[in-house]
Amino acid sequence: MDDERIASLEDVPDDSTLLVTLRNGFEKVEVVLTRFDGDVAAWKNTCPHWSDVRLDKGSGAELRDGELLCTRHGATFDTASGHCTHGPCEGAYLEEIDVVVEEGAVYLEESTYSFDHLGPKSDRDRSSGRIGFGGN
């Protein structure tokens, strides 16, 4: 199972997220790992309200009262289920990637993906979201 290893469990912070990049063929996908009750969940790094808005911009996503926070919209997501508990996408879910924790490490369980690297998929910053027309 070593080739499916993503990270050490110790690398996944209790108070934020760990950003990793997975590969699906030629496509690279950013995923955030979150801890809850001694376990780890993996979610695609996009808000369901606007899919071009990242939850983790490269330095860890913000958590509020133990829930993932979309700083663009103020939406909050349960770290265990991915369920949006508040905000413009309330009732929606983050897209899950199956992982498992074994012997102190996080492993990828989805055969359609392979681990690429820790961190964002590129240096390009998509955190600004939408194109503005205000001249700023």
37-83 pLDDT, tens digit each: 889 999 999 999 988 899 999 999 999 998 999 999 899 999 999 99
94-128 pLDDT, tens digit each: 999 999 999 999 999 989 999 999 999 874 544 44
Whether residue 135 has pLDDT greater than 50 = no
* Terminal CA-CA length for the chain: 49
Count of domains for the chain: 1
Q: Tell me, what CATH number does 58's domain have?
A: 2.102.10.10
Note whether residue 123 is domain-resident.
no
Note whether residue 11 is domain-resident.
yes
Using DSSP's 3-state secondary structure scheme, residue 99 falls into strand
Note whether residue 84 is domain-resident.
yes
Note whether residue 63 is domain-resident.
yes
What range does the domain containing 66 cover?
A: 2-112
Note whether residue 133 is domain-resident.
no
Note whether residue 119 is domain-resident.
no
- CA angle at 89 for the pair 114 and 30, rounded to the nearest 5°: 20
Q: Using 50, 70 and 90 to split pLDDT, how confident is the model at 90?
A: very high
Note whether residue 18 is domain-resident.
yes
- Phi/psi for 47 (5° steps) reads -85, 135
Note whether residue 127 is domain-resident.
no
